Chains A and B, each alone.
Chain A
Amino acid sequence: MTVALIIEQILNGIQLGTMLFLMASGLTLVFGVMGLINLAHGSFYMAGAFVTAIVAATTGSFWIGLLVGTLAAAAIGVVIEFTIIRRLYDRDHLDQVLATFALILIFSEGTYMIFGSSPMFLSIPQELRGSVNLPLDISYSKYRLAIIGMGIVVAVGLYLLISKTRLGMRIRAGENDREMIGALGVDIKTLYTLVFALGAGLAGLAGSTIGALQSVRVGMGEPVLIMAFVVIVIGGIGSIKGALVGAVLVGVVDTMGRVFLPMTLSNFLPASQAMSIGSSISAMLIYIMMAAILAFKPNGLFGSK
C-alpha cells in the first residue's frame, strides 16, 4: 500500500461524490422546495445518457451530445412536472412514491421498447482520454479529473444561484414557507417547474458524463438513485450544503471501504475469505454510516427541522 494508491483512491472517492452531488442536489431541492419525494429522478439520469449517446453518435461530438443531453433531461423534466408531478404536491408522500415509481417503470419499459436491451456505447472525448501525471508519482485519468472539476463548477454555480440571485431567494423562501411566498404574489407554479427542471437537468448531466465511463442502458439510474437518497438523508433533507458534504463523504467512504477493508481483513483471515467478507461488508458500509449519523443527528448533518 503506497501513498500514491491512497491518494488515487481519495480522488476516485471524490469523483464518485461529485456524481452523487449532481444527483442529490436536484433531489434535495425538489424535496426541500416542493416537499416531493421523486423516485423517478434516476430516469432523468438515464434519459440524459441516452440522448447524449444518440447525439454524440450522429454528430460525432461528445460535447454537443453532453449539452443536448442535459437540456433534453431538463425539458423532459418540464413536461413531466407539467403533466404529472404538479398534481402530486398536495398529496401525501405515499401517493408521490407510488406515482413516481410508476414513472420509473414507464420510462424503463419505454426506453427498452425503443432502444432494446443491449447497452449503447458512448465514448470519452478524444481530448480527455488517457491519464495525467500528478506529483508523488500518481497517474490519474484525465476524464475523471475533469468530472471533479465540473462538480466544483456546478457546486459554486448552485451556491451563487441560491444565495445571490432573485430566483435563489425565492427558492429559499419556498423552502421556508410555501403558503406565504404564494400569498406574497410570487408565481409559485413557475418556480416549481423551474426547480424541477433544474434538478432534472443536473441528473441528466450526471447521466451523460457517467454514460461515457460505464454503459448506457435501461435501468442505469436506479443504483445511483439509491445512493443519492442515502446522501440526502445523511446531509439533511433540503440542504444543498448537506448534499455536497454527504456526497463527498459517501463517495470517499464507499471507495475506501471497497479497497482497504478486504486488505485489512486479509491480515487476520485467509485471502479468499477476507476478500469475500470484506467486499460484502464494504457494500453495507454507507448504510452503516447513515444509521450511525442518524443516531446522533436525526435530521442529518445540515438538516433544519
Chain B
Amino acid sequence: MKKQMKLGLGVLLSSMMAVAHAQDVKVGMITTLSGGGAHLGVDVRDGFMLAIEQSGKTNIEVLVRDDAQRPDLANSLSSELVDRENVDVMTGLIWSNLAMAVVPSLTRQGMFYLSPNAGPSDLAGRLCHENYFNIAWQNDALHEAMGQYVRDQGFEKPFILAPNYPAGTDALTGFKRYYDGELANEIYTQLGQEDYAAEISQIRASGADSVFYFLPGGMGISFMNQYANSGTDIPVFGPAFSFDEVIVGALGAAAEGVMNTSQWAHDLDNATNRAFVAAFREKHGRTPTLYASQGYDTAKLLISALEVAHPKQDADAFREALRAANFESTRGEFRFGSNHHPIQNVYVRQIVADGAGGYTNQLVGTAMENHQDVYVDNCQL
C-alpha cells in the first residue's frame, strides 16, 4: 500500500515534471490597441494569434498588453511582464519611439525581442543586439524602394513631403537614397496637421511630375482626400503605411490609382500566403493588412525556433534557430541579414476597385529585389 502510494506519487511527480518539460513558453506582447494607431496593433495581434492557433501548440501562452502608444506605459508594462510574469520572449511594439524606449534595456537583460513592426535605424546599426530580431523591415525600406521605383519609372521631378519628426525625415532621406535625380520640392509639414490646402497649392505650382508622401494615420487620409478633391491629377506614390487596407477603405475612390511599396501583398502568390489570407478573412471578416502578415510571420518564426530549443534553457540554440529563419513566411522565402533584419523583395501595389463597391491593393510588380538596409555596416554582430 505504502509502496503503491509512493509509486503513485512518483508517477504524479514525474508526469508533472514532464509537463514542465514540455516547455511552457510565455510570450509577452506589448502593442497599441487603443488611440489613433490602434488598427496596426490589432492586426499584429490578430495575425500573431492566428499563427499560434493554427500551430495547435497549447504550451504557448501569450500575454497581450495595450501601450496606448505611450512610451512610459510601454516601459512599465515591459517591467511587469519581465519581472512579475516571467515571460520568455517579448514582441509586439508598433512605434519606433516606443521600441527605442523599451527594447535596448530588454535585450541587455538577455531577453529575446522579436519586432513585428518598428525598425528604427539605431537598432539595425549602432545598437544592434544578438537577441533582437526584426521580422518586418528596417523603417527606411519601403521609402527606399519607392525612390528606386519612381526613378525606374522615369519620373524626373517628384514633389516629396512628410511630417517634421524623426520618422518623417528618415522617410524622405530613405527616398532620396535611391532617387538621385532632381526634386520639384521637399517639404516638411506639422505633425498632426489636418489641412493640406497650402501644400496642395504648392504641388500644383511646382510643376512636379509625381508626388511622394509619407503621412501616417489620419494625416494621410486628410491629405489624400483633399488632394483628390482639388482636381490635381499628378500621380501619387507612397509607402504601404499610408495605404493599408483600413486606410484604403476609409479613402474610397479618392485613392484609386495610387502606387505604394510593400514587402507583402494580400495577393502575393505563394501557398502560405493564400492560406493565411483565407484563414484571416474567415476568422475576422476583413482583408489582412501588412501588419497582420508581420504578426503572423513573427509567430511562425517563434514557433519554428521553439521546436529547437527553449529561450531560457538553451538561449544559444534558440538564437541560432531564429537566425536560421526556418519557417514558411507569407512573403515566400525569408532570410535575415547579419544584423537580424530581413533581406527581402519590396513589391509595388496599386489601389484598384475590388468589384464589390470597395477598393483594395493589387500587386503590380517588384520595386527592389533582395533589399537590405544600409545600417548593417554599423552593426558589430
User: Could you list which residues of chain A lie within 8 angstroms of chain B, going by C-beta atoms?
Assistant: 1-2, 4-5, 8-9, 12, 15-16, 112, 116-121, 123-124, 129-131, 139, 141, 143-144, 210, 213-215, 217-220, 223, 255, 258-259, 262, 271-272, 275-276, 279-280, 283
User: Could you list which residues of chain B lie within 8 angstroms of chain A, going by C-beta atoms?
Assistant: 34-36, 38-39, 164, 169, 172, 186-190, 192, 194-195, 197-198, 201-202, 204-205, 218, 221-222, 225-226, 229-231, 246, 250-252
Question: Considering the chains assembled together, what is the distance between the CA atoms of A220 and B169 in angstroms?
Answer: 25
Asked, given contacts A5-B201, A130-B229, whether A123 binds B195 with beta carbons under 8 Å apart, the answer is no
B202 in contact with A279 (CB, 8 Å): no
Asked, given contacts A117-B34, A276-B169, whether A215 binds B202 with beta carbons under 8 Å apart, the answer is no
A15 in contact with B197 (CB, 8 Å): yes
Question: Considering the chains assembled together, what is the distance between the CA atoms of A214 and B215 in angstroms?
Answer: 13
**B36, B164, B197, B230 — most chain A CB neighbours (10 Å):** B197
A129 in contact with B229 (CB, 8 Å): yes
Asked, given contacts A223-B194, A276-B188, whether A141 binds B35 with beta carbons under 8 Å apart, the answer is no
Q: Which of A129, A144, A218, A271 contacts B197 (CB 8 A)?
A: A144
Which partner residue on chain B sits nearest A117 by CB separation? B38
Question: Considering the chains assembled together, what is the distance between the CA atoms of A277 and B205 in angstroms?
Answer: 22
Question: Considering the chains assembled together, what is the distance between the CA atoms of A110 and B39 in angstroms?
Answer: 19
Question: Considering the chains assembled together, what is the distance between the CA atoms of A12 and B187 in angstroms?
Answer: 18
A-B contact pairs, 16 of them (CB 8 A): A9-B198, A12-B201, A16-B195, A116-B38, A119-B218, A121-B250, A124-B229, A213-B222, A214-B218, A214-B226, A219-B36, A223-B194, A255-B198, A272-B169, A279-B187, A279-B190
Q: Lowest 4 CB-CB distances: which A-B pairs, in order?
A: A12-B197, A117-B38, A214-B222, A214-B194
Further contacts, 20 of them, CB under 8 A, given A1-B205, A16-B195, A279-B190: A9-B198, A15-B197, A112-B34, A117-B38, A124-B229, A144-B197, A213-B195, A213-B229, A214-B222, A214-B226, A217-B36, A255-B198, A258-B189, A259-B201, A272-B169, A272-B172, A275-B187, A276-B164, A279-B164, A283-B190
Question: Considering the chains assembled together, what is the distance between the CA atoms of A183 and B188 in angstroms?
Answer: 57
B250 in contact with A141 (CB, 8 Å): no
Q: Which of B34, B188, B195, B225 contacts A275 (CB 8 A)?
A: B188
Question: Considering the chains assembled together, what is the distance between the CA atoms of A123 and B194 in angstroms?
Answer: 15
Name the distance in Å between A151's Cβ and chain B's nearest Cβ.
15
Question: Considering the chains assembled together, what is the distance between the CA atoms of A258 and B221 in angstroms?
Answer: 20
Residues of chain A with a CB closer than 8 A to B172's CB: 272
Name the distance in Å between A119's Cβ and chain B's nearest Cβ.
6
Asked, given contacts A139-B231, A255-B198, A279-B164, whether A215 binds B205 with beta carbons under 8 Å apart, the answer is no
Residues of chain A with a CB closer than 8 A to B164's CB: 276, 279-280
Asked, given contacts A5-B201, A215-B222, A275-B188, whether A118 binds B38 with beta carbons under 8 Å apart, the answer is yes
Name the distance in Å between B379's Cβ and chain A's nearest Cβ.
26
Which partner residue on chain A sits nearest B219 by CB separation? A215
Residues of chain A with a CB closer than 8 A to B225's CB: 123, 213-215
Residues of chain B with a CB closer than 8 A to A123's CB: 225, 252
B195 in contact with A215 (CB, 8 Å): no
A119 in contact with B197 (CB, 8 Å): no
A262 in contact with B36 (CB, 8 Å): no
Which partner residue on chain B sits nearest A121 by CB separation? B250
Asked, given contacts A279-B188, A283-B190, whether A258 binds B198 with beta carbons under 8 Å apart, the answer is yes
Question: Considering the chains assembled together, what is the distance between the CA atoms of A9 and B195 in angstroms?
Answer: 13
Residues of chain A with a CB closer than 8 A to B35's CB: 117
Which partner residue on chain A sits nearest B222 by CB separation? A214
Residues of chain B with a CB closer than 8 A to A130's CB: 229, 231
B222 in contact with A118 (CB, 8 Å): no
A213 in contact with B38 (CB, 8 Å): no
Residues of chain A with a CB closer than 8 A to B204's CB: 139
Asked, given contacts A2-B205, A5-B202, A275-B187, whether A141 binds B252 with beta carbons under 8 Å apart, the answer is no
**A16, A215, A219, A279 — most chain B CB neighbours (10 Å):** A215
Q: Which of A5, A9, A118, A213 contacts B39 (CB 8 A)?
A: A118
Residues of chain A with a CB closer than 8 A to B187's CB: 262, 275, 279
Which partner residue on chain A sits nearest B173 by CB separation? A272
Asked, given contacts A130-B231, A215-B194, A255-B197, whether A275 binds B186 with beta carbons under 8 Å apart, the answer is yes
Name the distance in Å between B7's Cβ and chain A's nearest Cβ.
58
Residues of chain B with a CB closer than 8 A to A120's CB: 250
Question: Considering the chains assembled together, what is the distance between the CA atoms of A255 and B196 in angstroms?
Answer: 10
B205 in contact with A5 (CB, 8 Å): yes
Which partner residue on chain B sits nearest A280 by CB separation? B164
Name the distance in Å between B220's Cβ and chain A's nearest Cβ.
9
Residues of chain A with a CB closer than 8 A to B221's CB: 119, 214-215
Question: Considering the chains assembled together, what is the distance between the CA atoms of A144 and B226 in angstroms?
Answer: 10
Name the distance in Å between A287's Cβ and chain B's nearest Cβ.
13
Question: Considering the chains assembled together, what is the distance between the CA atoms of A8 and B206 in angstroms?
Answer: 13
Residues of chain A with a CB closer than 8 A to B231's CB: 130-131, 139, 141
Residues of chain A with a CB closer than 8 A to B198's CB: 9, 12, 255, 258-259
Question: Considering the chains assembled together, what is the distance between the CA atoms of A9 and B204 in angstroms?
Answer: 12
Which partner residue on chain B sits nearest A272 by CB separation? B186
Name the distance in Å between A17's Cβ and chain B's nearest Cβ.
12
Asked, given contacts A5-B202, A118-B246, A213-B225, whether A220 binds B188 with beta carbons under 8 Å apart, the answer is no
Residues of chain A with a CB closer than 8 A to B195's CB: 16, 210, 213-214
**A1, A5, A15, A16 — most chain B CB neighbours (10 Å):** A5
**B38, B188, B195 — most chain A CB neighbours (10 Å):** B195
Which partner residue on chain B sits nearest A254 by CB separation? B198
A223 in contact with B192 (CB, 8 Å): yes
B250 in contact with A215 (CB, 8 Å): yes
